[in-house]
Amino acid sequence: MTATATPPMVEAIGVHKYYGSNLVVKGIDLSVTQGEVMCLLGPSGSGKSTFLRCINHLEKINAGTIRVAGELVGYRQHNDRLHELRDAEIATRRSEIGMVFQQFNLFPHMTVLQNLIEAPVLVRREKAAEARARARTLLERVGLADKADAYPRSLSGGQQQRVAIARALNMRPKLMLFDEPTSALDPELVGEVLDVMRDLAADGMTMIVVTHEIAFAREVADTVTFMDDGVVVESGTPAEVLGNPRHPRTQSFLAKVL
């Protein structure tokens, strides 16, 4: 490592998260480099969504640290002291992280194009014309150029999820978090969403993808991380974790989903 090495895009050290007295994230350490695609696997309830929400300032962690692009989540350093971020600062930091959920969460009363330009204009104070031009390019990229003026309810689930991805990308995020983006879709619509994600990965986007799509993980992930009961059980290349899992918990999980 040289002094000018860029920091990891995400670095978690000893992250703990309680809900009330219930400890659900129990000391997660992981690191995601720039341009890396990490697929996060694990049984329901293992803390995957909670961990993503912690990265994206949606939950406060109780111990440990998370850094995104070198910046401590939740804090700002000033005169050698840490200060908790104010709401406006959190909004700015969050605007640099794209998140796509299982439920598409599009604004139902806005057209597809309006969905894409809302946040860049309101949060980033961008000129509408610029945000709109980029939105049209992104809609083309996700194969929905002809749906710019449609309302979400007229689209299929797969189309809505592609709009949700384009909407996140229109904020020009440095990191994309996906939380089971295809779990709510009819099986025949899963492929078109995975295709968009594959394209994004090939384009160099840093991504953390919680998914049960093992074939996608095998093909697209640089790193596969298996979580169970709030901890990282093992992490490695797809060939290592999916092809030759070392831990019995990983083996029994894969036996169920493969």
- Contacting residues toward Mg ion, per CB under 5 A: 49
The residue ranges of DSSP E strands in 101-246, in sequence order, are 175-179, 207-210, 223-228, 231-236
Angle at 214 (CA atoms; ends 231, 168), nearest 5 degrees: 80
User: CA–CA separation, 232 vs 167, rounded Å?
Assistant: 31
- Residue 249 neighbours by CB under 8 Å, 6+ apart: 226, 228, 233
Residue 167, contacted partner among ligand ADP, Mg ion, none, CB below 5-8 A by kind? none
Q: Is the Cα torsion angle 62, 183, 219, 248 positive or negative in sign?
A: positive
**Token pair in block for residue 176:** 């994309």
Smallest gap from residue 167 Cβ to ligand ADP (A) = 22
Smallest gap from residue 197 Cβ to ligand ADP (A) = 18
Interaction between residue 181 and ligand ADP (CB under 6 A): no
User: CA–CA separation, 220 vs 254, rounded Å?
Assistant: 18
Binders in 75-134 for ligand ADP, by CB under 6 A: none
What would the x/- binding string for ligand ADP be over residues 32 to 61, using CB under 6 A?
A: ----------x-xxxxxxx-----------
User: Between residues 113 and 177, which has the closer beta carbon with respect to Mg ion?
Assistant: 177
**Token pair in block for residue 238:** 């797809």
User: Between residues 50 and 223, which has the closer beta carbon with respect to ligand ADP?
Assistant: 50
What is the SS3 assignment for 174?
coil
Smallest gap from residue 196 Cβ to ligand ADP (A) = 22
Q: Is the Cα torsion angle 73, 178, 252, 218 positive or negative in sign?
A: negative
Q: What is the dihedral of CA 234, 11, 58, 174, to 10 degrees?
A: -110
Smallest gap from residue 68 Cβ to ligand ADP (A) = 19
User: Between residues 43 and 64, which has the closer beta carbon with respect to Mg ion?
Assistant: 43
Smallest gap from residue 91 Cβ to ligand ADP (A) = 21
Smallest gap from residue 30 Cβ to ligand ADP (A) = 15
Residue 19, contacted partner among Mg ion, ligand ADP, none, CB below 5-8 A by kind? ligand ADP
Interaction between residue 19 and ligand ADP (CB under 6 A): yes
* Contact positions vs ligand ADP (CB under 6 A): 19, 24, 42, 44-50
